[in-house]
Amino acid sequence: MAAGTIRYWAAAKAAAGTAEEPYAATTLAEALDAARRRHPGELVRVLMRCSFLVDGDPVGTRRHETVRLAEGGTVEVLPPFAGG
């Protein structure tokens, strides 16, 4: 299990009520599931529309269960982008 930071931007930041928080997870799916448990309600809905960067790399259409997280890594939770 890796420990790192989730950074929330825009609507995700408002829904989580924080700009960032730590994660302890092996995959992006595990980190996001934990975030949903900590912040039920609006964040659950917002995460369905967000894009994600893991250590600066776009996740794109990869399944979140396949995206491994690194020790000391960063997950950026970004709003959807126009045209993207």
Residue 1 has a pLDDT of 94
Share the mean pLDDT of the chain. 94
Residue 79 has a pLDDT of 84
Say yes or no to pLDDT of 80 above 80: no
Sign of CA dihedral 10, 16, 17, 18: negative
- If one counts every other C-beta atom within 10 angstroms of the C-beta of residue 77, the result is 25
- Report the distance separating Cα 53 and Cα 40, nearest Å: 22
Residue 82 has a pLDDT of 43
Of all residues in the chain, the percent with pLDDT exceeding 70 is: 94
- Tell me: the pLDDT tens digits for 22-60? 999 999 999 999 999 999 999 999 999 999 999 999 999
Terminal C-alpha separation, the chain? 31
Cβ neighbours for 34, distance < 8 A, ≥ 6 positions apart: 23, 24, 25
